[in-house]
């Protein structure tokens, strides 16, 4: 399993933002902190950073894509994989399999705060692809695409998560320093559980 940025341009831009973020941190003990902070903000605003953060993951699973597909949209399995953040489905579909045009509202603890996130399934093509997209939550936008390909009894499950943070340059700095890593680890843990459950399952889940 691996995560990577979607383009070379994005990588170069993130390097620039990391450099400015490190400069901002380094000024905390400087007597001219205020002036240096203003300089950091000016530098940030001169950098074009209007882009979505993209996380891509690929997971190999020894199971049919129907089994993996159903496991991926199973509310109970998601809650199991998200137990470290105490995530629970509190509205919409709260157990079993979620289907096209249905919604689920999650409540979980992230960065010390309980947050809610409402997702809808606007696209679902059995058993190849589906999308969950934010309808309400803390992100500016949030779209998670799920792809499934099977060959010789092995399913390649691919995740493409694209999101935008609010609060301008401050949201982008938070993303670079903390959020992207947090979400990547969240997905890796989810995929680990999906792999374990799918490889132990002989039949598809009930709809």
Q: What value does the mean pLDDT take over residues 65-93?
A: 95
- pLDDT above 60: residue 161: yes
Percentage of the chain surpassing pLDDT 70? Answer: 72
In the structure, what pLDDT confidence band is assigned to residue 35 with cuts at 50, 70 and 90? low
Confidence of residue 69 (pLDDT cuts 50, 70, 90): very high
Please report the pLDDT score of residue 22 as a whole number.
62
Q: Which long-range contacts (C-beta less than 8 Å, at least 24 apart) are formed by 16-24? A: 16/47, 17/44, 17/47, 17/49, 17/172, 17/173, 17/176, 18/176, 20/44, 20/47, 21/173, 21/176, 21/177, 24/173
- pLDDT tens digit sequence for 95-124: 999 999 999 999 999 988 899 999 999 999
User: How far apart, in whole angstroms, are the C-alpha atoms of residue 119 and residue 122?
Assistant: 9
If one compares 53 and 43, the residue with the highest pLDDT of the two is 53
pLDDT for position 43: 52
The SS3 assignment for 20 reads helix
Mean of pLDDT values over 3-21: 52
Q: What's the mean pLDDT when you consider all of the chain?
A: 83
- 126 pLDDT band (50/70/90 cuts)? very high
Backbone angles phi, psi at 24, to 5 degrees: -60, -40
In this prediction, residue 47 has a pLDDT band, given cuts at 50, 70 and 90, of very low
Q: Tokens 């949030």 appear where?
A: 142
Distance CA 71, CA 64 (A): 11
161 or 25: which leads in pLDDT:
161
Q: What structural domains and CATH numbers belong to the chain?
A: 51-200 (3.30.530.20)
């Amino acid at each position: 399993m691996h995560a990577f940025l979607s383009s070379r341009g994005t990588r170069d831009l993130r390097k620039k933002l990391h450099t400015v973020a490190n400069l901002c941190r380094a000024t905390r003990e400087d007597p001219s902190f205020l002036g240096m902070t203003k300089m950091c903000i000016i530098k940030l605003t001169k950098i074009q950073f209007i882009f979505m953060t993209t996380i891509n993951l690929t997971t190999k699973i020894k199971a049919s894509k129907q089994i993996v597909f159903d496991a991926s949209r199973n509310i109970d399995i998601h809650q199991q994989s998200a137990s470290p953040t105490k995530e629970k489905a509190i509205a919409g579909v709260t157990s079993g399999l979620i289907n096209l045009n249905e919604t689920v509202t999650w409540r979980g603890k992230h960065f010390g705060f309980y947050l809610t996130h409402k997702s809808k399934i606007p696209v679902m093509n059995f058993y190849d692809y589906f999308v969950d997209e934010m309808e309400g939550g803390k992100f500016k936008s949030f779209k998670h695409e799920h792809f499934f390909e099977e060959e010789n009894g092995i399913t390649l499950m691919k995740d493409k998560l694209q999101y935008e943070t609010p609060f301008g340059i401050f949201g982008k700095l938070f993303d670079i320093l903390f959020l992207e890593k947090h979400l990547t680890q969240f997905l890796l843990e989810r995929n680990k559980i999906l792999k374990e459950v799918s490889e132990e399952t002989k039949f598809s889940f009930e709809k």
